[in-house]
Amino acid sequence: MTEQILLEVQEVSRSFGKFQALSNVSLKIQPGQLCALIGPNGAGKTTFYNVVSGRYRPTSGRVFFEGRDITRAPAHRLVGMGLLRSFQITNIFPALTVLENVLVPLVVHHGSSFSCLGAIEKRRNLAEEAEQILSRVGLTGQSHRVVSTLAYGDKRLIEIAIVLARRPRLVLLDEPTAGMNPEETDRMIRLIKDLSERSDTTFFITEHDMKVVFSVAEKIFVLNQGGLLAEGSPEEIRANPHVKRAYLGGSLDAAGL
Protein backbone atom coordinates (compact mmCIF):
# COMPACT_ATOMS: atom_id res chain seq x y z
CA MET A 1 0.00 0.00 0.00
CA THR A 2 1.36 3.36 -0.95
CA GLU A 3 1.35 6.11 1.59
CA GLN A 4 -1.17 8.83 0.77
CA ILE A 5 0.34 12.29 0.69
CA LEU A 6 -1.70 15.47 0.43
CA LEU A 7 1.12 17.98 0.52
CA GLU A 8 4.76 17.33 0.00
CA VAL A 9 7.41 20.00 0.38
CA GLN A 10 10.87 19.03 -0.91
CA GLU A 11 13.93 20.94 0.27
CA VAL A 12 12.34 24.33 -0.11
CA SER A 13 14.46 27.42 0.42
CA ARG A 14 13.51 31.03 0.09
CA SER A 15 15.72 34.04 0.53
CA PHE A 16 15.06 37.75 0.43
CA GLY A 17 18.27 39.39 -0.67
CA LYS A 18 20.88 38.03 1.68
CA PHE A 19 18.37 36.95 4.27
CA GLN A 20 17.62 33.24 4.19
CA ALA A 21 14.01 33.01 5.39
CA LEU A 22 13.66 29.28 4.69
CA SER A 23 16.40 26.77 4.18
CA ASN A 24 15.90 23.21 2.95
CA VAL A 25 12.55 22.58 4.53
CA SER A 26 11.00 19.21 3.69
CA LEU A 27 7.76 17.86 5.06
CA LYS A 28 4.79 15.69 4.17
CA ILE A 29 1.19 15.96 5.22
CA GLN A 30 -1.31 13.14 5.06
CA PRO A 31 -4.97 13.76 4.34
CA GLY A 32 -7.13 14.20 7.43
CA GLN A 33 -4.21 14.81 9.76
CA LEU A 34 -4.54 18.09 11.65
CA CYS A 35 -1.02 19.50 11.63
CA ALA A 36 0.50 22.55 13.21
CA LEU A 37 3.55 24.58 12.34
CA ILE A 38 5.22 26.30 15.27
CA GLY A 39 8.37 28.24 15.88
CA PRO A 40 9.63 31.40 17.52
CA ASN A 41 8.89 34.77 15.92
CA GLY A 42 10.77 35.13 12.66
CA ALA A 43 11.23 31.39 12.26
CA GLY A 44 9.76 31.55 8.76
CA LYS A 45 6.24 30.25 9.35
CA THR A 46 4.46 32.86 7.28
CA THR A 47 7.08 32.70 4.54
CA PHE A 48 6.53 28.96 4.44
CA TYR A 49 2.79 29.49 3.97
CA ASN A 50 3.39 32.11 1.32
CA VAL A 51 5.57 29.70 -0.62
CA VAL A 52 3.19 26.75 -0.32
CA SER A 53 0.11 28.84 -1.22
CA GLY A 54 1.71 30.32 -4.32
CA ARG A 55 2.16 33.86 -3.08
CA TYR A 56 5.95 33.59 -3.31
CA ARG A 57 8.02 31.25 -5.38
CA PRO A 58 10.71 29.30 -3.59
CA THR A 59 14.32 30.12 -4.42
CA SER A 60 14.89 26.39 -4.70
CA GLY A 61 13.05 23.18 -3.93
CA ARG A 62 9.69 21.88 -5.02
CA VAL A 63 6.15 21.61 -3.71
CA PHE A 64 3.66 18.88 -4.61
CA PHE A 65 -0.06 18.90 -3.94
CA GLU A 66 -1.84 15.57 -4.39
CA GLY A 67 1.12 14.42 -6.42
CA ARG A 68 1.14 17.38 -8.79
CA ASP A 69 4.04 19.79 -8.94
CA ILE A 70 2.68 23.17 -7.88
CA THR A 71 6.00 24.94 -7.33
CA ARG A 72 5.43 27.57 -10.01
CA ALA A 73 1.64 27.67 -10.13
CA PRO A 74 -0.05 31.01 -9.40
CA ALA A 75 -2.19 31.29 -6.27
CA HIS A 76 -5.56 31.30 -8.01
CA ARG A 77 -4.76 28.03 -9.74
CA LEU A 78 -3.82 26.37 -6.45
CA VAL A 79 -7.16 27.46 -5.04
CA GLY A 80 -8.84 25.76 -7.97
CA MET A 81 -7.02 22.56 -7.01
CA GLY A 82 -8.31 22.81 -3.44
CA LEU A 83 -5.50 24.53 -1.56
CA LEU A 84 -6.82 27.49 0.42
CA ARG A 85 -5.40 29.70 3.12
CA SER A 86 -6.21 32.33 5.68
CA PHE A 87 -3.95 35.21 6.59
CA GLN A 88 -2.44 36.37 9.84
CA ILE A 89 -4.10 39.75 9.38
CA THR A 90 -7.77 39.17 8.62
CA ASN A 91 -8.21 39.19 4.89
CA ILE A 92 -11.83 39.71 3.92
CA PHE A 93 -14.00 42.22 2.02
CA PRO A 94 -14.73 44.93 4.62
CA ALA A 95 -17.29 47.04 2.72
CA LEU A 96 -19.32 44.06 1.51
CA THR A 97 -22.04 42.34 3.53
CA VAL A 98 -21.50 39.07 5.36
CA LEU A 99 -23.46 37.25 2.65
CA GLU A 100 -21.53 38.90 -0.19
CA ASN A 101 -18.24 37.93 1.44
CA VAL A 102 -19.17 34.28 1.04
CA LEU A 103 -20.81 34.81 -2.35
CA VAL A 104 -17.51 35.98 -3.88
CA PRO A 105 -15.82 32.57 -3.49
CA LEU A 106 -19.06 30.77 -4.38
CA VAL A 107 -19.35 32.68 -7.65
CA VAL A 108 -15.81 31.63 -8.52
CA HIS A 109 -16.39 28.08 -7.31
CA HIS A 110 -19.41 27.62 -9.56
CA GLY A 111 -17.62 29.04 -12.59
CA SER A 112 -19.77 32.17 -12.74
CA SER A 113 -16.93 34.67 -12.46
CA PHE A 114 -17.67 36.12 -15.87
CA SER A 115 -21.42 35.82 -15.99
CA CYS A 116 -22.25 39.47 -16.15
CA LEU A 117 -25.89 39.96 -17.09
CA GLY A 118 -28.06 38.05 -14.63
CA ALA A 119 -28.62 39.67 -11.24
CA ILE A 120 -26.71 37.98 -8.44
CA GLU A 121 -29.85 38.25 -6.29
CA LYS A 122 -31.58 35.84 -8.61
CA ARG A 123 -29.07 33.12 -7.76
CA ARG A 124 -31.11 31.75 -4.87
CA ASN A 125 -29.06 28.56 -4.79
CA LEU A 126 -25.86 30.54 -4.24
CA ALA A 127 -27.41 32.52 -1.39
CA GLU A 128 -28.71 29.34 0.22
CA GLU A 129 -25.32 27.71 -0.02
CA ALA A 130 -23.74 30.82 1.49
CA GLU A 131 -26.19 30.74 4.40
CA GLN A 132 -25.33 27.09 5.03
CA ILE A 133 -21.63 27.87 5.16
CA LEU A 134 -22.24 30.81 7.46
CA SER A 135 -24.22 28.67 9.86
CA ARG A 136 -21.45 26.08 9.70
CA VAL A 137 -19.04 28.62 11.21
CA GLY A 138 -21.67 29.89 13.63
CA LEU A 139 -22.61 33.16 11.93
CA THR A 140 -26.34 33.21 11.43
CA GLY A 141 -28.80 36.06 11.19
CA GLN A 142 -26.18 38.62 10.22
CA SER A 143 -26.10 38.10 6.47
CA HIS A 144 -26.95 41.65 5.56
CA ARG A 145 -24.61 43.39 7.93
CA VAL A 146 -21.60 45.11 6.46
CA VAL A 147 -18.57 43.13 7.56
CA SER A 148 -16.61 46.11 8.85
CA THR A 149 -19.24 46.54 11.60
CA LEU A 150 -18.68 43.03 13.00
CA ALA A 151 -16.70 42.12 16.11
CA TYR A 152 -13.11 41.04 15.51
CA GLY A 153 -13.72 37.39 16.28
CA ASP A 154 -16.61 37.28 13.83
CA LYS A 155 -14.46 38.80 11.11
CA ARG A 156 -12.01 35.96 11.53
CA LEU A 157 -14.89 33.50 11.22
CA ILE A 158 -15.89 35.20 7.96
CA GLU A 159 -12.47 34.38 6.61
CA ILE A 160 -12.99 30.73 7.55
CA ALA A 161 -16.37 30.83 5.79
CA ILE A 162 -14.76 32.33 2.67
CA VAL A 163 -12.19 29.53 2.64
CA LEU A 164 -14.79 26.80 3.20
CA ALA A 165 -16.91 28.08 0.31
CA ARG A 166 -14.31 26.72 -2.09
CA ARG A 167 -14.68 23.19 -0.61
CA PRO A 168 -10.96 22.96 0.06
CA ARG A 169 -8.88 19.81 0.33
CA LEU A 170 -6.20 21.53 2.39
CA VAL A 171 -6.46 24.75 4.37
CA LEU A 172 -3.48 26.65 5.70
CA LEU A 173 -4.55 28.75 8.67
CA ASP A 174 -2.04 31.42 9.60
CA GLU A 175 -2.53 32.12 13.33
CA PRO A 176 -6.31 31.74 13.30
CA THR A 177 -6.65 32.87 16.92
CA ALA A 178 -4.24 35.84 16.79
CA GLY A 179 -5.63 38.81 18.66
CA MET A 180 -8.64 36.92 19.97
CA ASN A 181 -9.97 36.96 23.51
CA PRO A 182 -10.18 33.59 25.34
CA GLU A 183 -13.82 32.94 24.42
CA GLU A 184 -13.23 33.72 20.76
CA THR A 185 -10.13 31.53 20.79
CA ASP A 186 -12.12 28.71 22.31
CA ARG A 187 -14.85 29.03 19.69
CA MET A 188 -12.29 29.05 16.86
CA ILE A 189 -10.48 25.99 18.21
CA ARG A 190 -13.69 24.03 18.55
CA LEU A 191 -14.66 25.02 15.02
CA ILE A 192 -11.34 23.92 13.53
CA LYS A 193 -11.43 20.60 15.41
CA ASP A 194 -14.99 20.01 14.35
CA LEU A 195 -14.36 20.85 10.72
CA SER A 196 -11.27 18.69 10.69
CA GLU A 197 -13.15 15.69 12.07
CA ARG A 198 -16.36 15.99 10.14
CA SER A 199 -15.28 17.06 6.67
CA ASP A 200 -12.65 15.76 4.29
CA THR A 201 -10.76 19.02 4.60
CA THR A 202 -7.31 18.84 6.10
CA PHE A 203 -6.12 21.75 8.24
CA PHE A 204 -2.58 22.93 8.71
CA ILE A 205 -2.26 25.74 11.23
CA THR A 206 0.44 28.01 12.55
CA GLU A 207 -0.08 29.24 16.04
CA HIS A 208 1.85 31.09 18.70
CA ASP A 209 -0.41 29.89 21.50
CA MET A 210 1.14 26.59 22.62
CA LYS A 211 -1.94 25.58 24.56
CA VAL A 212 -3.93 25.73 21.35
CA VAL A 213 -1.32 23.83 19.37
CA PHE A 214 -0.98 20.99 21.85
CA SER A 215 -4.74 20.66 22.27
CA VAL A 216 -5.62 20.36 18.58
CA ALA A 217 -2.65 19.13 16.58
CA GLU A 218 -2.10 15.49 15.73
CA LYS A 219 1.27 16.30 14.31
CA ILE A 220 3.58 19.24 14.93
CA PHE A 221 6.38 20.70 12.83
CA VAL A 222 8.86 23.06 14.48
CA LEU A 223 10.60 25.73 12.45
CA ASN A 224 13.58 27.60 13.79
CA GLN A 225 15.64 30.17 11.91
CA GLY A 226 14.19 29.03 8.61
CA GLY A 227 14.98 25.35 9.06
CA LEU A 228 12.86 22.44 10.19
CA LEU A 229 14.01 21.65 13.72
CA ALA A 230 11.71 18.79 14.61
CA GLU A 231 8.52 16.99 13.70
CA GLY A 232 6.35 14.52 15.51
CA SER A 233 3.38 13.92 17.76
CA PRO A 234 2.67 16.50 20.49
CA GLU A 235 4.28 14.15 23.05
CA GLU A 236 7.43 13.80 21.00
CA ILE A 237 7.70 17.53 20.46
CA ARG A 238 7.16 18.24 24.13
CA ALA A 239 9.98 15.87 25.04
CA ASN A 240 12.37 17.14 22.37
CA PRO A 241 15.36 18.92 23.94
CA HIS A 242 16.15 20.94 20.77
CA VAL A 243 12.67 22.37 20.72
CA LYS A 244 12.94 23.35 24.38
CA ARG A 245 16.18 25.14 23.69
CA ALA A 246 14.79 26.96 20.66
CA TYR A 247 12.04 28.32 22.82
CA LEU A 248 14.72 29.51 25.30
CA GLY A 249 13.56 26.83 27.68
CA GLY A 250 10.77 29.16 28.57
CA SER A 251 7.53 29.29 26.82
CA LEU A 252 6.81 25.57 26.49
CA ASP A 253 7.05 25.20 30.26
CA ALA A 254 5.47 28.54 30.86
CA ALA A 255 2.47 27.42 28.88
CA GLY A 256 2.08 24.63 31.40
CA LEU A 257 3.18 21.92 29.07
- Site residues (CB under 8 A) for other proteins? 53, 74-77, 79-80, 84-85, 91-96, 100, 103-105, 107-109, 112-123, 126, 162, 165-166
Strand segments (E) across 131-226: 170-174, 202-206, 219-224
Round to whole Å and give the CA distance between 176 and 203: 11
Q: Which is nearer to other proteins, 21 or 147 (CB)?
A: 147
Q: Which is nearer to other proteins, 115 or 233 (CB)?
A: 115
State the nearest-atom distance from the C-beta of 143 to other proteins, in Å: 14
State the nearest-atom distance from the C-beta of 218 to other proteins, in Å: 26
Strand order in 60-65's β-sheet? 19-29, 7-16, 60-65, 68-69
Q: Which is nearer to other proteins, 75 or 230 (CB)?
A: 75
Q: Which of 18, 98, 23 is nearest to 61 (CA)?
A: 23
State the nearest-atom distance from the C-beta of 242 to other proteins, in Å: 34
Q: Which is nearer to other proteins, 28 or 110 (CB)?
A: 110
State the nearest-atom distance from the C-beta of 127 to other proteins, in Å: 11
State the nearest-atom distance from the C-beta of 11 to other proteins, in Å: 25
Q: Which is nearer to other proteins, 100 or 231 (CB)?
A: 100
- Mapped onto helix, strand or coil, the DSSP state of residue 28 is strand
Residue 39 has phi, psi (to 5 degrees) of: 160, 155
The angle subtended at Cα 201 by Cα 198 and Cα 204, nearest 5°, is 115
